[in-house]
Amino acid sequence: MKQMNGKQTPSDPRYSRQVGLPEIGPAGQLLLGQKRVLVIGAGGLGSPLLFALAGAGIGRITIVDSDTVSESNLNRQFLYRSADLGLPKARLAADRLREYHPDLSVVSVTELLTDKNAPELIASHDLVISAVDSLQSRLLINKYCCRYGRTLVDGGVSGFSGYAAVIEPGRTPCYHCLFGVRENTPSGPSGVLGSIAGIIGSLEATLAIILLLGLENPLDGEVLFFYAKDMSFERLKIMRDPDCPHCAASGQREAEQTK
């Protein structure tokens, strides 16, 4: 029996390789099956991370992407095929995940994330993963994750490099602390090696699963940078901005809650 009251069970043989891990076990698998994860962006980062989340048995996955499939996506967005050109990514991604794992609950949102829909979407999930392709989208996601105290896993890629970060509002620096005050915005899409998106997307999924299991945040305020041409991973400690308009208030809320 794979399902019980609409929820997955740890006894599903699909999970046998990970249930055997002491960090997961039947209790951890049950926990993953109860979690709701919001994935914003179903492109290069979203392709590997969505499959990884589905494979891990995350109970409910919501996919937000307003874009349609174009030919230039196909070097890295392996959720899609040549026959999908012009079709909405979020809907296709949800269909592919359901084919891959029919017991999951997968919801697609084909609207652009805005100030109007972001609050409800973010507040109604346990964890948010940013797999978007612009500073503005990341700042919007960060703003509402800070407001509603939702942990955010973020990643980005360019050329042969990428980064991953975990933002725990009120505890770690947020995206605004790190990048939000940048004055310059590069124009036009940057080139990227498809497999780099695979690496960073997989890192984002791994971080998300670790956090959903209640394990320690492996980055803890550091950003992890990857550069493929020398196969280096480097971490950099980031300082919180005490005057940050987003996470400084989260810190106060957390302090008030722990009084």
Regarding 114 and contact with other proteins (CB under 8 A), the answer is: no
User: How big is the site for other proteins, counted in residues (CB under 8 A)?
Assistant: 48
Pairwise CA distance, residues 143 & 246, whole Å: 6
Read off the amino acid at residue 112: L
Span 191-210, contacts to other proteins by CB under 8 A: 192, 197
Q: Which is nearer to other proteins, 187 or 258 (CB)?
A: 187
Q: Which is nearer to other proteins, 9 or 66 (CB)?
A: 66
Q: Which is nearer to other proteins, 121 or 165 (CB)?
A: 165
Span 210-249, contacts to other proteins by CB under 8 A: 225-227, 229-230, 232, 234, 236-239, 241
Regarding 162 and contact with other proteins (CB under 8 A), the answer is: yes
CB of 218 vs other proteins, minimal distance in Å: 18
Chain centroid offset of residue 15 CA: 21
Q: Which is nearer to other proteins, 212 or 238 (CB)?
A: 238
Q: Which is nearer to other proteins, 36 or 240 (CB)?
A: 240
Do residues 236 and 177 touch, judged by C-beta distance below 8 A? Answer: no
CB of 113 vs other proteins, minimal distance in Å: 13
CB of 68 vs other proteins, minimal distance in Å: 15
Regarding 116 and contact with other proteins (CB under 8 A), the answer is: no
Pairwise CA distance, residues 170 & 252, whole Å: 7
Q: Which is nearer to other proteins, 6 or 186 (CB)?
A: 186
Do residues 119 and 144 touch, judged by C-beta distance below 8 A? Answer: yes
Regarding 157 and contact with other proteins (CB under 8 A), the answer is: yes
Regarding 178 and contact with other proteins (CB under 8 A), the answer is: yes
Pairwise CA distance, residues 63 & 44, whole Å: 14
Do residues 156 and 130 touch, judged by C-beta distance below 8 A? Answer: no
Strand partners, 38: 62, 128
Q: What token pair was written down for 200?
A: 């960073």
CB of 50 vs other proteins, minimal distance in Å: 13
Regarding 45 and contact with other proteins (CB under 8 A), the answer is: yes
Regarding 252 and contact with other proteins (CB under 8 A), the answer is: no
Regarding 158 and contact with other proteins (CB under 8 A), the answer is: yes
Residue (of 258, 245, 238) closest to 172 by Cα position: 238
Pairwise CA distance, residues 152 & 137, whole Å: 13
Regarding 92 and contact with other proteins (CB under 8 A), the answer is: no
Pairwise CA distance, residues 172 & 33, whole Å: 27
SS3 content of the chain, % helix, strand, coil (to 5): 40, 20, 40
Q: What token pair was written down for 192?
A: 């990227």
Do residues 46 and 78 touch, judged by C-beta distance below 8 A? Answer: no
What residue ranges bind other proteins (CB under 8 A)? 41, 43-46, 130-135, 138, 155-163, 173, 177-179, 181-187, 189-190, 192, 197, 225-227, 229-230, 232, 234, 236-239, 241
